[in-house]
Amino acid sequence: MMKFDVLTLFPEIFKAVMGESIIGRAQGNGLIEINTINIRDFSKDKHRKVDDYPYGGGNGMVMMVQPIYDAYASIVEKCGYKPRVIYMSPQGKTLNQELARQLKENEHLVLLCGHYEGIDERVIEEIVDEEISIGDYVVTGGELPAMVLIDCVSRLVPGVLSNEGSFSDESHFEGLLEYPQYTRPYEFINRKVPDILMSGHHANINRWRRQQALLRTFRKRPDLLSELELDKQDTDLIGEVLDDSEKLSLKSIKGRKM
């Protein structure tokens, strides 16, 4: 069982989103646990204030040290050890599938969600082990980023997805994008499902899927392909479906002869 404790000013946001579908079911089955801790509950101010103006002036409000620290301390007191604390931050390391895989190895993660202009730097220095970003843009609070992290890490926890194979074939699992998927009907506005998928020949279907995964990674995300070591089989496979100018561009991406 993997446990997430989320320090936030807006716990309701989590209940609405994380209670549904696969992640909701995983909680129901005891595979993951998501607790929200309302930072405001730890404010010592009579108006339950949690933010203040920035020292040195400037825009917006900054979340104060004390309520966040005390909310964190309440988790430590309850579990009896110092759990790994991640601050969701646009200044952090960018979340990707490999990082999600590493995070899955933790039994317990604490996610700290900032809001407004962010949080007092001293909280980061005192309690945060790692800052993680969901991309090079800024959203209003750490709640959506924390939910993205919880979702992508949780689906790697054994048993959360009904079919474990469904993520090992998926985009980014081994650096490739996934092949195209089809379901019924067979024909839609004159577009038919590729014949190979109707053949029932599994070896040929797997070969076609591998070829399509290579092809679409090359066309949509050449940056990903440049990171991969392609063996001769893969190079031959993608070579079958590239035109001459694409072959040249693949050669320059891979920096070697096809």
The residue at minimum Cβ distance from ligand SAM is: 114
Q: How far is the CB of 73 from ligand SAM (least distance, A)?
A: 20
Q: How far is the CB of 239 from ligand SAM (least distance, A)?
A: 39
What's 115's DSSP letter?
B
Q: Rounded CA gap, 29 and 25, in Å?
A: 6
* Closest to ligand SAM by CB, 51 or 179: 51
* Closest to ligand SAM by CB, 51 or 154: 51
- CA nearest 228: which of 214, 241, 216, 247? 214
Binding site for ligand SAM (CB under 6 A): 88-91, 113-115, 117-119, 133-135, 137-142, 145
Q: How far is the CB of 141 from ligand SAM (least distance, A)?
A: 5
Q: How far is the CB of 59 from ligand SAM (least distance, A)?
A: 9
Region for 178 from its dihedrals, namely left if φ exceeds 0, alpha if ψ lies in -120 to 50, beta otherwise: beta
* Closest to ligand SAM by CB, 66 or 133: 133
The rounded radius of gyration (Å) of the Cα atoms in the chain is 23
* Closest to ligand SAM by CB, 34 or 149: 149
CB 7 within 8 A of CB 112: yes
Q: How far is the CB of 162 from ligand SAM (least distance, A)?
A: 30
Three-state secondary-structure class, residue 22: helix
* Closest to ligand SAM by CB, 148 or 193: 148
Spell out the alpha helix ranges (H) of the chain: 11-18, 21-28, 65-79, 97-103, 121-127, 143-154, 165-168, 195-198, 202-220, 222-226, 232-239, 244-254
What's 119's DSSP letter?
B
* Closest to ligand SAM by CB, 140 or 163: 140
Q: How far is the CB of 89 from ligand SAM (least distance, A)?
A: 5
Who's near 74: CB < 8 A, 6+ residues apart? 37, 42
